[in-house]
Amino acid sequence: MSNNESIVSNELAANSELNISHELTVTEDPKALVIFAHGAGADMKHQYIEDLVQLMNAQQLNVLRFNFPFMDKRKLDGKRRPPDRMPTLVACYQSILANVTTDLPIYIAGKSMGGRVAAILAGDKDLMNTHQIRGVICLGYPFHPAKKTDKLRLEPLQETQRPVLILQGQRDALGSEIEIKAYELSSHCQLHFFNDGDHDLKPRVKSGYNLKQHQSAAVNKMRSFIDEINNCC
């Protein structure tokens, strides 16, 4: 089922000060609400994210996605902008959380940069408790900038107060399987690597795998992760 105004108002409380583009897509008998943030290069309506949302709905997960401010500005004038600074990204995600009202278990998630923001939020114990966040899902976590393996972004994954599922391509240029296995991460982190996948989980043709397979497997992992937490806590 696609979102509409009445459905959104059920899960995102009306707030005249909240001016963030968002879209809620729901399914029958949902098991959780996944709040999903886009990455640095594509907005919440990109086909890649559309495909993920459809797969998540098929796994009985409601999905609330939103745009960060820089992406909405890009849509207005067509100018390509760099991402907002991290404090602005974090504040935007916090605004979404502050306006969500639901009886469903909540999981915060994101693609690349969006997953990093979610992981940063997971280090705030008070925030996690206030909004009853059950876990974090990172699709292609940016462990470091491309070709800058010395500039690591491990702190959110070392200080997390919640379980974190990291879905990563084996040859991700922002953190490959070989690199990541040498990092010291929190015991809360669960890692799953996708054969020959790049930063978008996309494998090369010669690998024998394809993107749709990996996207489907990634969402299956999400559902298993959510079920495990929902059933034990």
CA–CA separation, 222 and 108 (whole Å): 11
Q: What is the 3-state secondary structure (H, E, C) of 157-181?
A: HHHCCCCEEEEEECCCCCCCHHHHC
List the beta bridge partners of residue 24: 64
Q: Which CATH number fits domain 5-232: 3.40.190.10, 3.40.1130.10, 3.40.50.1820, 3.30.1490.20?
A: 3.40.50.1820
CA–CA separation, 172 and 188 (whole Å): 22
Residue 36, classified by CB atoms within 10 Å of its CB into exposed (0-12), middle (13-18) or buried (19+), is buried
CA–CA separation, 192 and 170 (whole Å): 9
For tokens 């959510």, the residue is 226
pLDDT tens track, the chain, 233 positions: 333 333 344 455 434 355 789 999 999 999 999 999 999 999 999 999 999 999 999 999 999 999 999 999 988 887 888 999 999 999 999 999 999 999 999 999 999 999 999 999 999 999 999 989 999 999 999 999 999 999 999 999 999 999 999 999 999 999 999 999 999 999 999 999 999 999 999 999 999 999 999 999 999 999 999 999 999 86
